[in-house]
Chains A and B, each alone.
Chain A
Amino acid sequence: MKPAAYIGILLLLLPLQASLLAPLSRIGLAPDLGMAVLFVIGLLTTPVEAAFAGIAIGLLQDAGSASLLGLSGLTLGIVGLVTGLLGQRMLDIQSSSNVVFLAVFSLTGSLLTVLFLDVLYGGFPVLGPFFVRMVPRAAATAFTGLLILRFSTRRSVLPMIRRRELQKER
């Protein structure tokens, strides 16, 4: 992707998630905007580029919250790499059914985070939050990912965010 697109994403991701999507967190439906954006990056770029994008977005999320620096960086880095590999093997990256993978990634990411925190601090309930918080969040993230995917793969938008050499590669 073009550097300008990355700068825009990194500058606006946290404020958009924290300000505009905050009202949705009251009803437990705030999507993970970082993961949704990363999923689209993974589908549109290479695995290595998506992995580094994931690490950058994750580190930004860690620094902007109270969590351990590197926790989201590692999680989103792995998600970026896997999405990139997935994107290389997909016949149609614009297909709506692709966001099922995003829901699975979101759910797995949330589960791994809670398990990590449980190992670290102990006493973290998993089953209750799984249905109350993680599943609705995964659904909201998948829906957001679908909207971003639809928007970014439009013929008028794609050339603005994608590097020319990558367009030739595809």
Chain B
Amino acid sequence: MPGFIDKNRRYLVVLAVFLILFWLLTLQVKAGRFTVLERPVLAVSGFFERIIAGTYDGTASVVQGYVLLVKTERENRHLQDEIGRLRLENQMTAEIQQENERLRAAIGFEKLNPPHSVLAEVIARESSPASVTCTVNKGSSSGVERDLPVITSDGIVGRVQAVLPGTAKVMLITDPGSTIAVRVQRNREEGLLEGKLDRCALKYVSYYIDVQQGDVLVSSGLDGFYPKGLPVAIVTSVRKHESSSFQTVYADPIAKLSRLEEVLVFRK
């Protein structure tokens, strides 16, 4: 026996480390994910990601600028026309807004205040087999905090997972750790939307609740993270099992998560 141990000592050390890692995993299942290494790793990787993204964007813009120079004059003329049209539309919108405010005041509605937001650029996208996250170029120095919601014009993207002064890591809604309280827009039924790597799944939907393919899911605001009423996902498949009291409902995110370039971080 001692001979065996001496001969295979290095392999036994490896086996011990494997067992420790497995034990760590089981601990996290109960106690939640450990975030000890998160900030140091984000600091180092964020630094290099900013350099790489900056170099890539700089080179791309120089090449693009040179190639597109020929088209600029034609585009410029087109844009001048567009500006004229938009100015006209803007004046009309201002009129409509004033009318809307007068009507709201008349029926006693509160004025809608859009929350403050920070525009951030996606500089990296991590594609681990077990999670879906991205890194943005704005951090605590711009007012970004942990757990703030991140959106695009299409809908909810995810929420801030870790923050440093100039960088933040965003956990996307398809990440297995992501959960959003949602409502079916059509009939206001509630559910919990969980990430399933490629898509999302609506959890705890009773067999008798009416959910149909094509239904739009909006945030209900009940989770305390996301503002109420933002579009989140569209139901793509609904399966009812006779043996279960719940339905299996899958949904695809409305925001194009694979093509994220710029996002808004909602500040409280």
Cβ proximity bits A99-110 to B, threshold 8 Å, 1 near / 0 not: 000000000011
Q: Determine the chain A residues whose CB is within 8 A of the CB of B175 once the complex forms.
A: 66
Number of A-B contacts (CB under 8 A): 160
The stretch of A86-94, A119-127, A149-157, A159-167 that contacts the partner chain: A119-127
**Minimal beta-carbon separation of A166 from chain B (angstroms):** 14
Residue A147 CB within 8 A of the other chain: no
Residue A55 CB within 8 A of the other chain: yes
Q: Determine the chain A residues whose CB is within 8 A of the CB of B130 once the complex forms.
A: 62, 65, 67-68, 71-72, 113, 116-117
Q: Determine the chain A residues whose CB is within 8 A of the CB of B33 once the complex forms.
A: 66-69
CA A75 – CA B42 in complex, angstroms? 22
Q: A71 contacts B248, CB within 8 Å?
A: no
User: Nearest B residue to A69 by beta-carbon distance?
Assistant: B34
Q: Determine the chain B residues whose CB is within 8 A of the CB of A17 once the complex forms.
A: 126-127
Residue tally, chain B, CB below 8 Å to A:
57
CA A121 – CA B175 in complex, angstroms? 11
Q: Determine the chain A residues whose CB is within 8 A of the CB of B42 once the complex forms.
A: 64
Q: B176 contacts A11, CB within 8 Å?
A: no
CA A25 – CA B34 in complex, angstroms? 27
The stretch of B11-19, B182-190, B222-230 that contacts the partner chain: B11-19
Q: Determine the chain B residues whose CB is within 8 A of the CB of A47 once the complex forms.
A: 11
Q: Determine the chain A residues whose CB is within 8 A of the CB of B83 once the complex forms.
A: none
Q: Determine the chain A residues whose CB is within 8 A of the CB of B52 once the complex forms.
A: 15-16, 19-20
**Minimal beta-carbon separation of B162 from chain A (angstroms):** 9
Residue B146 CB within 8 A of the other chain: no
Cβ proximity bits B232-268 to A, threshold 8 Å, 1 near / 0 not: 0000000000000000101000000011000000000
**Residue among B33, B45, B124, B130 with the highest chain A CB neighbour number at 10 A:** B130
Q: B49 contacts A19, CB within 8 Å?
A: yes
User: Nearest A residue to B177 by beta-carbon distance?
Assistant: A66
Q: A74 contacts B48, CB within 8 Å?
A: no
A16-B52, A55-B21 known; A123 and B203 CB under 8 Å?
A: yes
Q: Which of B157-179 contact A (CB under 8 A)?
A: 161, 169, 171, 175-177
Residues of A whose CB lies within 8 Å of any CB of B are: 11-12, 14-22, 25-26, 30, 32, 47-48, 51-52, 55, 59-74, 77-78, 81, 109-110, 113-114, 116-117, 120-121, 123-125, 128-129, 132-133, 137
Contacts A18-B125, A125-B198, A128-B198 aside, 4 further interface pairs with beta carbons under 8 A come to A14-B49, A19-B53, A65-B131, A123-B203
